[in-house]
Structure 1
Amino acid sequence: MNLETRLRTFSQLSNEELYQILRLRSEVFVVEQNCVFLDLDDKDQKCHHLSIYYENELLAYCRIVPAGLSYKEVAIGRVVSAPAHRGKGLGRKVMDEAIEACFNLFGSVPIRLGAQTYALKFYQSLGFREEGDVYDEDGIEHIEMVYQFAR
């Protein structure tokens, strides 16, 4: 499968790309996870958006949040893969690409994320380490995790 990775600022996203991103986020975070929350949080406009496509179909996505917007550190958020394409390593691919993008955009700075606890082992396998206590966010258990670049 020949995958295409796209890294865009908000203003660089086409209408079609933005629609596909918002649709996938809604499909997974609102419908599949049965979580009523306001996904459109006024942060997207300040983020970079990393998308993985196959033949113009969005398969996986995350956003890269600059330091000071969600946390004091740079963050990766809204990590999602299309339900029809799970089990193909797309979550790992989008996260590997996101870590690389963070490095290219911001240097060797720590990266923070709020992980759903069911995905703890996945993020640990990427080099993230838990920090703090488990907390409830919109009815789903989360824990903050931090990635430190090796120096």
Structure 2
Amino acid sequence: MTTRYAHAHLKDLSPHDVHALYKLRTEVFTAEQRASWAEADEIDSRETTWHVRAYDENDHLKAYTRLFLAPSVDDTTKGELEVRIGRVAVDKHNRGEGLGRKIIEKSLEICKKEFHDIDVALEAQTHAIDFYKKHGFHTVGEVFELGGIDHIKMVCPADDLK
């Protein structure tokens, strides 16, 4: 089965792609995980936000992440800004195919290309800590609750991006 990867700003996506990404995010975070945050937010439409998508040969969205610049609010990353990876989602019908690994690898490639020397951070659900460690991330700080789910901040220094 062939997977096609793409990344774009929200304004450059087709209505079909926008609908598909919000549908996948709503299914994963609202329906499955019962997260209490608003699924669509102002971060989606920022000029510095990239929407990374994985499609099958029928143009069905299988996996997604978003990348965006944010102020570094603590001293866990170097510099005034950090790139954040968020809304990591894999369609429940495609789990177990390695798509989570691949979409993170693609996201890190884009971080290196588009954001150059800026450290990458994410708020990992605690059950996924080992998964992100395999991609060069390390935990920083304490566990916190976000949307009713335990998370921890993880950082991958820009110098470690492959």
TM over 0.5: yes
Which whole-Å CA distance do the structure 1 matches of 2:112 and 2:11 have between them? 21
Q: Which of 118, 121, 129 lines up with 1:120 in the alignment?
A: 129
TM-score, scaled relative to structure 2: 0.88
Shift of 1:37: 2.2
Matching of residue 33 in structure 1 with residue 23 in structure 2: no
Any residues of structure 2 matched to 1:58-69 within 5 Å, and which? 58-68=61-71
Any residues of structure 2 matched to 1:1-151 within 5 Å, and which? 1-46=1-46, 47-55=49-57, 56-68=59-71, 72-148=81-157, 149-150=159-160
Q: Is the 8 A contact 1:30 1:36 kept in 2?
A: yes
- Residue 114 of structure 1 aligns to a residue whose secondary structure is strand
- Residue 66 of structure 1 aligns to a residue whose secondary structure is strand
User: Match for 1:104: what amino acid?
Assistant: K
- Residue 154 of structure 2 aligns to a residue whose secondary structure is strand
Which whole-Å CA distance do the structure 2 matches of 1:40 and 1:7 have between them? 18
Write out per-residue CA displacement over residues 76-121 of structure 1, whole angstroms, 9 at most, x where no aligned residue.
1000100000000000000000000000001132100000001111
Which whole-Å CA distance do the structure 2 matches of 1:36 and 1:107 have between them? 33
Which whole-Å CA distance do the structure 2 matches of 1:28 and 1:82 have between them? 7
Q: Is the 8 A contact 1:73 1:111 kept in 2?
A: yes
Q: Is the 8 A contact 1:61 1:94 kept in 2?
A: yes
- Residue 66 of structure 2 aligns to a residue whose secondary structure is strand
Which whole-Å CA distance do the structure 1 matches of 2:73 and 2:26 have between them? 20
- Residue 43 of structure 1 aligns to a residue whose secondary structure is helix
Shift of 1:150: 2.8
Q: Structure 2: state its 5+ residue gaps.
A: 75-80
Percent identity between the two aligned chains: 35
In the superposition, relative to structure 1, how do residues 69 and 8 fare at CA in structure 2: closer, same or farther (>3 Å)?
A: farther
Between 1:106-115 and 1:18-27, the stretch displaced more is: 106-115
**Pairwise CA RMSD:** 1.7
Which whole-Å CA distance do the structure 2 matches of 1:63 and 1:33 have between them? 18
Q: Structure 1: state its 5+ residue gaps.
A: none
Q: Which runs of 4+ in 1 moved over 3 A?
A: 69-72
